[in-house]
Structure formats: structure tokens, C-alpha cells
Structure 1
Amino acid sequence: DVFFVISGYLITTIIISEMAEGKFSIVNFYERRARRILPALFFVMAACLPFAWLWLTPNDLKDFGQSLVAVSTFSSNILFWWESGYFDTAAELKPLLHTWSLAVEEQYYILFPIFLMLTWRLGIKWVLILLSIAFLISLGVAEWGTQYATHSKIISGAFFLLPTRGWELLIGVFAAFYLKHNTHLKSHAVNQMLSLLGFGMIAYSIIAFDKTTPFPSLYALIPTIGTGLLILCAVPKTLIHKLLSLKFIVGIGLISYSAYLWHQPLLAFARNKVEGDVAELHLIILCITSLLMAWFSWRFVEKPFRNKNQTTRKSIFTFAITGMIIFTLIGIYITQKNGFFDYFIEQNSEITNGDIGHDEFHMYTKENYAPCSDQTIYEKAENWYGLIRCQQSSNNNPTVAVFGDSHAEHLFLGLDAHSDYEYIYLIRGGYPFSEEESHQYLIDYIINNKDIKTVIYSMYWLSNYTFFGEPVFKDKLLNTINLFTNANKNLILVADVPDFRFDAKSCYFVAKFNREKTKCEISFSDFQAQRKYLPLLKTIATDFNLELIDPSALFCDDQKCSMVKDQTILYRDNEHLNIPSSRLVGEFIVRNSTILDKN
């Protein structure tokens, strides 16, 4: 957010100064941007290639290939917005994820000069009126998208896309226009106070905001207005000006762009290599390394390309176009090769069966089952890249509902395969309890459907138990159970399967990473730590005379839990069952349920 404001200010200052003097050239402008951005960016992208080949799984390598194309075409924010979703690869594992903000800037660089060239003749007043309208619309849409929208694509779009980030750039734009036509405030005391306030607003945002803070909502006004105050009021002789003028801070500023480029790839590849969180000492080493690499990039890449005596306009444009074409072609090749999936499969003799990733699972469900017959339920259902996640056994009326979240969904295939009942799965992201907007309409549907006699209730139990805390979790669970039992529904609770904390891809491609079979396992004690909710579930099942089925024995013995059995992988990510294991677990549930087992 601070980055956008500063960028909006600097770029606008350059453009309006030149336009006021009648010497603005869009070719010169794009040349300066190419010199500033592309050499260091291409250098980092090239450095990422060998590590992506060595340390990324084929699925992630394919994603990396797509990101190479998107970064080269200034559209990585659109790619990462489109990829974002329930099952998306964790953000901290994507080497080029941070370039989304650079893409927003690049799109601004393309559009904003053209806007000014078209409206400059109208006069400054009308330019500012039009920009103010754009500011209010952008901020309004951002607030709605982050605070009131419920669709995941709208929420993520508010984060990644220019229309909802534009207002942050425009704060810097307004500061540039103000200082172009006005001087800094005369009062030293006022400048001192406002610059300290601005610095404090930024510091507060860093300390107080976290990943749960909706951005870029009205909350983002705090760091962005704070940055605007620094631009306007951190004049010479103020404390903040003295602080920001320290040689160390100035030095960090010089290499800040390269540091921005290096930090995410270093952290992402480290996390991919260790398959999890990086130790604090290693984080410190990586941060220092990113600064050293940033200095190297600034000294030997950025500076030479910015020097017009060393690099001519023709050379920089040729370099830019060539780099864009090369990285686009590399990215397309990696993507078309599916991350070299087949190549690594040939080298992997440890695992011979089972699907990983979510495409095959959801496609199988779509192709082998009927869509939910209730149109309202179907239209509100989750989807996986256009594959609607609401199916039933056939076009006959369902008699058993599988209810909850994705941890209930992955039971459906196996349950249907091993009993003669008509199943339907009814799931959403969110919290699978009554009085929750995400799930109440599904509960109402089940209760009011006289054909549905049995409900199989499961969820990511630990996540909900941890999020709400036991007292609230218990109340919500009891309220939901009461609704089902009062409607005379048979109720079966299914405990969760192990969460391995590492992706199935890491286990599947044992040969690529020279990994031991233990990389497909967690200790039984680690699994037990995931079952804090189970004593409460057992108590409720006893009190309500409900069936509680725990399928963990299929994966665990008294020493360890494994996601591989008989050379078949049983997970499609770290926590969701694939097709073979859904059948395995479904058979276990049916066999151990007096309600479902007709034999």
C-alpha cells in the first residue's frame, strides 16, 4: 500500500512536470520505465529457473511456467487472482507471487499517461475532478469487495486488481498535483506533527494489521494517508526527514526495488525445499541474503541499464522485447509440458497409483454423477474452475445427505460406491453450522426434504474447533445436531482423516527430490495433536446416541500415519482424500455403520 502511494507520486510528478513544460514524450516515459523495471526483473526470473526445476513439484512447476508468461506480459496480478481459491497452492510457496503488485503498477504506467494526454487540454480542474471520481469509485468497490462480497473471486479480485488498488495510487497522484501547484506547509510545528502522525500511521499498520485484516478496504486508508502525509510534510529539519536521510536508510532505498524482487523467491524456494516453515535463524540468513543480492542487482544490473551512455534507447527496447518473448516462450513450454509431469513419473518407482491435485477428482465426480436436482442448491454451489461441486448418485431423489465442507465432500465417492442408497453431497466453504450464512440454506433443504432420512456430518473438525474455541464450537455443533435430530434424521458423525501438513505432490515425486518414504508420513503423536476435538465429539455422540465413525485406522498405526498404501497415494493435497482413498474410507464407513450397512 505504501509502495503504491509512493509510485503514484513519483510517476505523476515526472509526467505533469514534463507536460507543463510541453515536452512530455510517451516513448521517453516507457523507456525510463523499461530501464527501471525490466533488467532486474528479468535477472531474478532467470535466477529462479534452475531452482524451480530442482525444487518444485511438476504441478507447482507448471504454475511457475504460467507465472513466467504472466510476469512477462504485465498480467501476473490477473493470473494470481484467477488461481486464488479454496485449494490454491499456499501463497508463501509461489516464487513470483509478489509480482502481482508490480503488474498493478505496470498497468497504471500504461493507462495513466494516456489518460493525462487525453484530458490535459481540459485543464487541471477537470483532470482532478475526473481523478476524484475514479478515486471514490475505486475505494467504494474495494470496500464492498473486501467487506460485503461473499464470492471468493470478488474478494480476491479486490486484493489483486487495478480497479480496486487504483485509489491507493491516486493518493500519491493527488500529492504530486498538490506539490506541483503549492509549496510545502510553512509551519515547522505542523510539518513536524503531521510527518510524525504519518510515520505513526504506517507503523501502526505494520504492527496491528494481519492477514485477517480486509485489504484494500477502508483500513488501507491508514497506511496510505500516512504515506501521503510523509510526502507532503517530511520536509528538511523534521525528525522524520532526518531519520529518512540517514545513510543506511538512503542505501536501503537505493536497493529497495531489487530487494523487493529477491525476497519472495528466496523465501518461497526455501519453504519448498524444507516443505514447511523456515526456522527463524534461516529466515534471518535469507533476509540478509536478499539484501546482498539486491545490492548486486542494483550495482551490476540496474545501474548499467539506467546509464544512457552504456545502454541506448534502441538497446533497452530490444532487450525488453527479447526478454519478454524468451520468458513467455519458456513459460508456455513448461506449461504445455504439464510441469514435466510425465518425465518425473517415469523416474518414480515408489508410487504407481492414485490421483494428486484436484482436477481429476472433480472431473471424475462430474462425469460419473448427476448434478444436484434442486436448482437453487445447484446454482449456489461451490465450483472448481467451472466444475460445479454439487452432485448426487443419480436423478432419483436422494435419501442420504453428506453435509459439511470439503472434508465431507471427499467422502461422497466412496460412500456411493459401497452402498445402494441415493447420496447427495451438500457442502460449502465456511463454517458448517446452523445460523451460518454459508450453510443454513443447506440445512433447511435437508430438514425440509422428506426423502432424506440420513445425514453424514463431517468437516475440518480441528480448524473449526480451534477457530471458535471449545465452548462456542460445542454450542454451534449442538444447535446443528438438534435441528437434524428434531427433524427425525438419522445422524452419523465422521471424524477427520490425518492432515499431513505437506502436499501429496511432495510425497508422490519421491524420485525427483531424492526423498525417503518417511516424507509421506507423520508421527502418530503429531496426528493425535490434531484430534483435540475428538473427546467432545465422542461425548456428544454418546449423549445423543449417534454413530461416530473414525476412519483413521486406515492411515495410521501406533507409530505413524502414511498417505501411501500398497504403492497407491491416498491424498490429493495435504488433507483431502483422492479417488482411491475416498472409496477406501467410504467402504469403511458403510461397513461400520448400522444405519448404512444393509448386510
Structure 2
Amino acid sequence: MKYRSEIDGLRTVAVVPVVLFHAGLGLFSGGFVGVDVFFVISGFLITTILLGDLEAGRFSILTFYERRARRILPALFVVLLICLPFAWAWMLPSIFEEFARSLIAVALFFSNVLFWRESGYFAPAAEEKPLLHTWSLAVEEQYYLIFPLLLWALWRWRRERLMWVVAALAAASLGLNLWAQRNDAISSEAVFYLTPTRAWELLVGSLCAFHDRPERRRGSDALAGLGMAMIVLPIFLYDATTPFPGLYALPPVLGTALVLLFARSGTRVARLLSVGPVVGIGLISYSVYLWHQPLLAFARLRSPGEPPLGLMLALAAASLLLGYLSWRFVEQPFRRGKLSLLPRRGQIFAFSGAGMAAAIGLGAIGIAADGFSGRMPPAFFEREAVLAAAEAERFEAIGQGTCHYNRMGERARLDDFLGAWTCGPEGPGPVLALYGDSHAADKAAVLRLAGMAPLQMTGAGCPLLPESGGPSYCDTLLAAFVETARAAGAERVVLANRFETNELAPAYLSRLADFWTEAFDEVYLFSPMPEFPGLKEGFLLGGLPAVAALHPETAEGTAFADAAARADLGRLAVLPTEVYFCADRPGCGAVAGDALLLLDPTHLTRAGAARFAEAFRTAAPFGTADDLADCAPDPCPALPVREGRAGTGSAAPLSPSR
């Protein structure tokens, strides 16, 4: 096909937002849509080449896979190789074992399935996975295992009829995507990562290739400009809470199609996309994409907290430099046909097989060696056992699988969890109900230790409002909680959440207050928990002294307090988490005496929950300390209401008495 510089420019529009999104630049909160742009471009270019080969009678599946191997594998193998020593030096055994699994999955182009099963794309833990971005390569290669053979098998049909088959497949994939997003039995991670629900984006590009006939080619500034707007606006308007993909993926996908079809030579959009530096970044975009995630992920692994934005932007710029070097000295030498480093097909296939076998072998060794745990000193394993015991104790305290849903254990399916749920108070009296994410589950343990018996229904990663992101099961869980709490006659509802960045805004908190105070008369909300980045790693490597030296990050708490002060909270009252957790501990450390108060940067050990409960009982936000003391340590059958407290909407701290 004839070279179109504007397509390389479009690649720049795709890769730069992805890199800046992963770097944490808030302005590019929807930069992940760049991957969808890549999908459409890939579908268009590959289908154009395949149709040309079929029409010329030179189609060869071996030739097709040879081109893919030369294009994809050399640079990918170099990145995997460079990642290994840094993973060895900086990863704990459990994290290295995950990395080893990802090596195998990447080599088999199966990493999208692996990351679907491990964590969501937008989860904090995902940011520390050096090979997370290879999920999109896996989707493309899985697609190209089938699509060329399908075209070849159906080529005897006229081109127009074949286009309708492709259109039907695209519609089926999009329909599956939309259906799966509304099916509670299918996780949002599956919809995001898996090829059947993503193939429609590549197929849209393929449809553009079918339409791209000489007699139909015409430029249109209006349609190309509309396409650019449909790509660019989501980059700035979407964020991690946007239900994606699905209908929200239509603007960038269809926008890319419009640019491919109508940004012809001579149009303003084509001229803009054909500017030298824009084309230059597009030419190296594949290598830039490969390098950016390992750089950013290893920076996060090495930092006790979120690395400074300046460092992340510098690493984003470094990915451009490494991308150029990789393109110049790795990509190009393998793609020069007869002048290639490996000119014959058998050589490139042998090289590819050897590289894949090496990655699989190294990954298997890493798994068999338990993440090369022999690198660690003996004390590491003693501390690891302490954390394992503390985690088991926490799971029991929060009612994992009975009160708290996190897709683990015997009740990994939501319907099984809800069908067996019995986590409510026994006996007569006013009911206190609690909802939220894993932080809310911690608060349920705190309330029990403070002498209360909350009706608890919490879910890992669940926000406090419906249709505001989080795992796909959250909206169903929230609806079940509201129905259950109302049926139980709950007079008091307590909420808690980690709060993502987009949730720390006055408008969001106002909507939250409206939703819950319309449903219940008396609503309390715990403010965010102080966070101790690097706590788990610090404890494993340095013990209690290392953890005692950590300082909490309270940026979320400050942002929450500012937003709460400007929001209309109505009858919702704020419970100051930081005051309770930090009571009697100057500097608010993660250690009290010889007790570790947190299991990881944000979740309480039983010792931490007990100290929190003691401060909470003393503050007595639901009544006087004597009221609660009358029934402690047993659950209180009735919880007296402090007159006027729930109606103030005050976010002022409640200082516990000494």
C-alpha cells in the first residue's frame, strides 16, 4: 500500500496520551483510549495488506507471520531481557513470581488473560507491573491468528459480501461487549482485557480497509476534523471510572475510522498529522509503547510512595529516547528484507522460537524457585510468616467471604456470596449498617471491637455510588445492601472508602450525600485512611524499625477535607479516620510499641483495629462513652443517638479525650 504519513501522525496521537496517562499526568486522565486508536490503525493496515495479497494472488500465511515476527518480536525480546536484572534486584519474591508468570504469558501472547485474572487495568497494583501493557499485543496477535485465515477461506466470495461478514463479526463483538458489561457474572476486567470483547475495534479498522477503494477515496476536512475531536476529547474527559470499553469506546474508535478514511493528502488534518516531529514519534511509537511501562513501573516499585510527577515525566521522555534507539538499532535491522540481520524466513522463525522458549524457560524457573526467594535473608521469611498470619487474622475479622466480598474462597461468585450472606445483628434493637470497600470492611472490624454489631455488606474496590466505576459486581452489591438494610430497619448507615482521585471532589461528595441521605435518615462517612507507602516491603526487608520510620501520606485526607468543606453534605456526618487512627501517637506511626498496626499501606491488622476501636469508643460519635461501655465488650443491642449529630454535616474532627 502507498505510504501515508498522516497515519504515523495518528500513531503519535495514540501513543503520547497512553504514556502520559501511565505517568500519572491528571490532564490525560483518559489517555488509555490511545490503545483503542492503535487497534483501529492495526486492523486497517493489516487488512489492507491482506486484501492486496489476496487480490494479487500472492497470499501466504507464512509470509504474513514472518512480517509479524519481524515487526513485533525483536524489540519485545530486548525489552524483556533488559527488565530481568531490574526485576531481580528490586522485586520481592512474590512480585518476581508474578513477573515470571508474565514472561511466560507474553511469550505465548496470552498476557491479556493473565492480567485479567490478576488485577484490573486501573487498579493501583497494576501500575507496578512492568509488562502490563503487553495485554494489547496479546489481543492483536490472538486476532491475527484467526482473521487472515478467515479472509483466505472466504475470499471466493465477492469483496462486498465479505465486508458484510466482517461487519457482522464486528457487531457481534460489540454486542458481546455491551452484554458482558451488564452481566454481573462477568467481570469488568474480562470485558477490558479479552479478545472477544475487543475484536470489534480491530474489525472497525478492517471495515475501513474494505471501504478504502480508489473510487471512494476523498478527503473531507469536516469529517476528518470530527474524527480528531472524537479521539482527543475522551483523552481529557474520560478517567478510570468511565465504564470502558463499550459505548464509551465508540467515539475514539469511530473517530479513528473517520481520520483514516477522510484525512487525505491536502486536508488540514492530514497536514497537521504530517508535520515532521509528529510523524517521527509515530514511526517509533511501537518501541516507545514497549519501553514506557517498564520505566514507570520500576520507578513505582523503587519509590516508597507515588514517585514525583517530574520524575515520571522525565521517564516518559526517556521512553522516547529509548524508543528511537530501539527502532533504529533493533526494529529496522530486522525489517530490511534481504538486507535484514536474518534475511531468510527460517532464520527469523528460528530466532522467534528461541526467544519465546527462553522467556518461557526463565519464567518457569522463576516460578519453580518461588521468585528466587533465596536472594532474601532468613529474617525475611520470618516476617513474611508474620504478615501471612496477620492477613489470615484480618480476613477472619472482616468476615471475608461471609460479610466482605472479594471474589476469593468458596464464594467467589457474587450470587453465591449474596445467597449465603448472614452478616447482620442478632436480636432486637436499632440496626447499624455498614457499606463500602475493603476499608469499610476494616471499619466493620473496628466497630465490632468497639462493642457494636454492624450489618455489614462490603465489596473489594467498590465505590460508594452506583455507576461510578469499580468492578462490575459493585452496583449489584450496592443495590443488595440498600434493600437489605432497609428491610432490616437500619436507623444508622456508616460508609467508608479509599476514595480515588476523581472521588475527592465537592461535586462527587455532594452526589454521594444526596444518594445516601435520601435512602436513610442517619448517615456517617469515614474520611480516608492515612496511607503508608512501602510499608509491606519495608517490614519484610527491615522489620519494625524500618516501618516505624515511615511517615503517613495524608494528601487524600487533605483533599477530602477541602472537598467536604465545599460540598453540600446535607445530613451526612463525617467521622475523622485520621483522628481515631492516630490517637495518642505523635507523628501517626504505623507501629505502637512492638505491634504492627497495618498489614499493608492502608489496611489494619487486628492490633491496629483494636487501637482504632479504643479511640472510637472514647470519642463516642454515636453517643457517650458510658452508653457504649454499658454493653462492651458484647455488641450493643441499641445505639443511642447524640442529638443533632447526624444532621450537622460537619467535617470537623472529633478529638478523642486522653
**TM-score normalised by the shorter chain: which range applies?**
0.7 to 0.9
The aligned counterpart of 1:459 is: 496
Paired residues of 1:401 and 1:426 also in contact (CA < 8 A): no
- Give the structure 2 partner of residue 322 of structure 1: 354
Equivalent residue runs for 1:490-569 within 5 Å? 495=526, 498-500=529-531, 502-511=533-542, 517=547, 520-522=550-552, 552-553=579-580, 555=582, 557=584, 559-569=586-596
The answer as to 2:605 corresponding to 1:578 is yes
Q: Which residue of 2 aligns with 1:52?
A: 87
Q: Is the 8 A contact 2:104 2:359 kept in 1?
A: yes
1:236 matched to 2:275? The reply is no
Query: Counterpart in 1 of 2:151?
Result: 116
1:168 aligns with 2:201: yes
Partner Cα separation in structure 2 for residue 479 and residue 577 of structure 1:
31
Structure 1: distance between partners of 2:176 and 2:496: 33
Q: Per-residue deviation at 1:583? A: 5.0
**In 2, Cα distance between equivalents of 1:141 and 1:294:** 36
Alignment check: 8 A CA contact 1:139 1:167 kept: yes
Distance 2:321 2:111 in 1: 26
Q: What letter is aligned with 1:114?
A: L
**For residue 550 of structure 2, what is the amino acid of its counterpart?**
C
Q: CA RMSD in A?
A: 4.3
Q: Distance in 1 between matches of 2:510 and 2:123?
A: 31
Q: Which amino acid aligns with 2:345?
A: R
Write the distance in 2 (CA, Å) between the matches of 1:46 and 1:204. 37
TM-score (norm. length: structure 2) = 0.73
Q: Which moved more, 1:60-69 or 1:170-179?
A: 60-69
Partner of 1:445: 484
Q: Which residue of 2 aligns with 1:332?
A: 364
Matched, 1:27 2:62: yes
Distance 1:109 1:29 in 2: 9
Query: 2:230·2:251 contact (CA, 8 Å) conserved in 1?
Result: yes
**What is the aligned length?**
567
Residue in 2 that maps onto 1:66? 101
CA gap of 1:84–1:124, structure 2 versus 1, over 3 A, is same
2:378 to 346, 363, 369: 346
Q: CA deviation at 1:325?
A: 2.0
Structure 2 CA distance for aligned equivalents of residues 369 and 263 of structure 1: 37
Cα distance in structure 2, aligned partners of 1:203 and 1:554: 43
* Aligned residue identity for 2:539: Y
State how far apart, in whole Å, the 2-side matches of 1:86 and 1:34 are. Answer: 26
Q: Is the 8 A contact 2:439 2:603 kept in 1?
A: yes
Report 1:413-424 matches (<5 A). Answer: none
Look up the equivalent residue of 1:384 and give its one-letter code.
Answer: M
1:211: which partner in 2? Answer: 240
SS at match of 2:198: helix
| Separation of aligned partners in 1, 2:611 and 2:91 | 30
Q: Write the distance in 2 (CA, Å) between the matches of 1:426 and 1:530.
A: 24
Question: How big is each residue's C-alpha offset from its partner over 1:346-395, in whole Å with a ceiling of 9 and x where there is no partner?
Answer: 355996874269974676569x98947xxxxx9xx552365557788999
Shift of 1:280: 4.1
SS in 2 for 1:500: coil
* Cα drift, residue 530 of structure 1: 5.6
Does the 8 A contact of 1:353 with 1:567 survive in 2?
A: no
| Structure 2 counterpart of 1:201, from 230, 233, 237 | 230
Percent identity of equivalent pairs: 33
- CA shift for structure 1 position 36: 0.7
Amino acid at match of 1:43: V
Q: Which amino acid aligns with 1:502?
A: P
- How far did 1:173 drift? 0.7
CA drift of 1:508 comes to 2.4
Q: How far apart are the structure 2 equivalents of 1:49 and 1:427?
A: 39
Cα distance between partner residues in 1 of 2:369 and 2:408: 22
Alpha-carbon distance in structure 2 between the residues aligned to 1:48 and 1:476: 47
Flag the 1:470–1:236 CA change in 2: closer, same or farther, 3 A.
Answer: closer
Q: 1:240 to 1:495 in 2, by over 3 A?
A: closer
1:375 maps to which residue? Answer: none
1:177 aligns with 2:210: yes
1:291 to partner: Cα distance: 1.4
Aligned match of 1:426: 457
What is the SS of the residue equivalent to 1:457? strand
Distance 1:415 1:221 in 2: 45
Mark the CA change 1:471 to 1:365 in structure 2 (over 3 Å): closer, same or farther. Answer: closer
Alignment partner for residue 5 of structure 1, among 36, 40, 58? 40
Q: 1:204 to 1:415 in 2, by over 3 A?
A: closer
Which segment drifts farther, 2-11 or 170-179?
Answer: 170-179
Secondary structure in 1 matching 2:588:
strand
- Partners of 1:107 and 1:352 lie apart in 2 by 38
Task: Quote the offset at 1:174 in angstroms.
Answer: 1.2
Q: Does the 8 Å CA contact 1:184/1:233 hold for their aligned counterparts?
A: no
How far apart, CA to CA, are the structure 2 residues paired with 1:589 and 1:358? Answer: 22
After superposition, what is the alpha-carbon deviation per residue over 1:258-313, rounded to whole angstroms, capped at 9, x for unaligned? Answer: 01101111122222323444434323422321111111111221122223442032
- Structure 2 vs 1, CA of residues 59 and 200 (structure 1 numbering), >3 Å: closer, same or farther? same
* Greater CA drift, 568-577 or 24-33: 568-577
- 1:317 Cα deviation after fit: 1.4
Structure 1 length normalisation: TM-score? 0.80
Which residue among 152, 169, 172 is the counterpart of 1:137?
172
Which of these residues, 76, 88, 106, is aligned with residue 41 of structure 1? 76
Q: Which segment drifts farther, 577-586 or 300-309?
A: 577-586
Residue 521 of structure 2 corresponds to 482
- SS state of the match for residue 561, structure 1? coil
Structure 2 Cα separation of the partners of residues 216 and 547 of structure 1:
35
Structure 2: segments with no counterpart, 5+ residues: 1-35, 467-474, 619-624, 635-658
For 1:35, give the aligned amino acid: R
Q: Which residue in the other structure is 1:157 paired with?
A: 190
Aligned pairs (5 A) from 1:290-439: 290-309=319-338, 310-311=341-342, 312-340=344-372, 343-344=375-376, 346-348=378-380, 354-355=386-387, 360=392, 364=396, 371=402, 381-384=405-408, 387-388=411-412, 403-405=434-436, 406-412=438-444, 425-428=456-459, 429-431=462-464, 438-439=477-478
Please tell me whether the aligned partners of residues 392 and 425 of structure 1 are also in contact (alpha carbons under 8 angstroms): no
C-alpha distance in structure 2 between counterparts of 1:352 and 1:26, whole Å: 51
Change in Cα spacing, 1:325 to 1:569, as seen in structure 2 (3 Å) is farther
* 2-structure distance, mates of 1:515, 1:71: 39
- Residues 331, 595 of structure 1: alpha-carbon distance in 2 compared, 3 angstrom cutoff: farther
**Are the aligned partners of 1:352 and 1:568 in contact in 2 as well (CA < 8 Å)?**
no
Cα distance in 2, alignment partners of residues 360 and 110 from structure 1: 44
The CA distance in 2 between the partners of 1:360 and 1:467, in whole Å, is 37
- Whichever residue aligns with residue 158 of structure 2, its letter is G
For residue 14 of structure 1, report the CA deviation from its aligned partner.
1.5
Structure 1 residue matching 2:270: 3-state secondary structure: helix
Instruction: Summarize the Cα distance change of 1:169–1:66 in structure 2 as closer, same or farther, 3 Å threshold.
Output: same
Q: How much does 1:50 deviate?
A: 1.8
* Shift in alpha-carbon separation, 1:33–1:474, aligned structure 2, 3 A: closer
